[in-house]
Structure 1
Amino acid sequence: MDKNSQEQLEVSAERTRVSRRTFVVSAAGVCGAAALWSLRRRSPGTVEASGNNVSAGPVTIVQFSPEGKRIGKVTVPRTIKSEEEWKQQLSPVSFEVTRHAGTERAYTGNTWNLHDRGLYRCICCDTAVFSSDTKFESGTGWPSFWQPIAAENIVEIHDEAFGMDRTAVSCRDCNAHLGHVFNDGPPPTGLRYCMNSAAMRFVKFA
């Protein structure tokens, strides 16, 4: 083999190696972009709210007496049910809100204008989530609170669904979607926990 032929073979081999490297890098980039897109599509209020994609391990929550007094922390098995079981337990609007991160229409819930004193419990598992002691008139048509009854009883997750940048609020025990929290509330926290009436059961203080 003469010198020119050998050089041509070496150039051809180098081009093949470069092409292979380019393909591998490009493929990795495409796969990475696809994975990132998939993660961004899954907002906390879609699949996670059904309770099917959460850990089945126990959770620690705070229990409250019928008078609204803090009893203490307890560790309980997480409440997980199938879609059919939730449908049988809940009304259509409560099912859509809590299990599929829906939102009831403003001024349609049964507690947005309620002024009685009592506890607001998760409609799905009865965990205490809010108290009338922190409820205020927000003018939004949804029951609003400036803080939860216990931070341990809720979970806050970044939510980019529908092109909005929000913080979703769910029940720690059963992962039911409750609503969202915003930074335009009154003192002392400056927060507005904008909840769905359909996601909670009101119980008057004993």
Structure 2
Amino acid sequence: MKSIQLKLSLIFTILLLFISSNAVADNYNDTIDVFIKSDAVKPFFNEAYGYAVFPRVGKGGIVIGGAYGTGRVYKQGDISGTTTLVKVSVGFQLGGQAFSEIIFFQDKRAYNEFTNGNFEFDGSLSAVVITAAAQAQASTQGSSAGVSLGPATGTQAETNYTKGMAVFIHTLGGLMYEISIGGQKFSFTPTK
């Protein structure tokens, strides 16, 4: 019985990730515009050495879960390559979710760390969640939160770089009992 449940969970997760990650083709500029409208995010565009943008990441699971998304990496304003986000997890989780993600690199060292081979977030990095209903900083270290009607209004959670990186997430839809960025793995392919 457990074997059947695990297989069904895996099939559901793969189907959900496939549908949600392919629902939007190429909307990098639209995604960047959403993040720029946030007062908490806007300064990072002016100060960061570079950033990675994922217009849509699909995440889902029933006990076994996963996330998948593709993105672009920018270095000092120019596209330097493409990236893929993958996460597989086992544990208490239920549901599905789609979100946009942006990762800012404070300096050349952080950019190089992300773009050299395979990079993985550890549990100490936090993300600021920017949604239409509430903003909260998800962190293992604890922090602040604010409530507003969207990214262009109200007070949002403040964040700083951790280990040279700052991460923001904009929820696009769905409901999932588990959200974390720890364990996300990234691959990078430079542009020719």
**TM-score normalised per structure 2:** 0.26
- Bigger radius of gyration: 1
More helix by share: 1
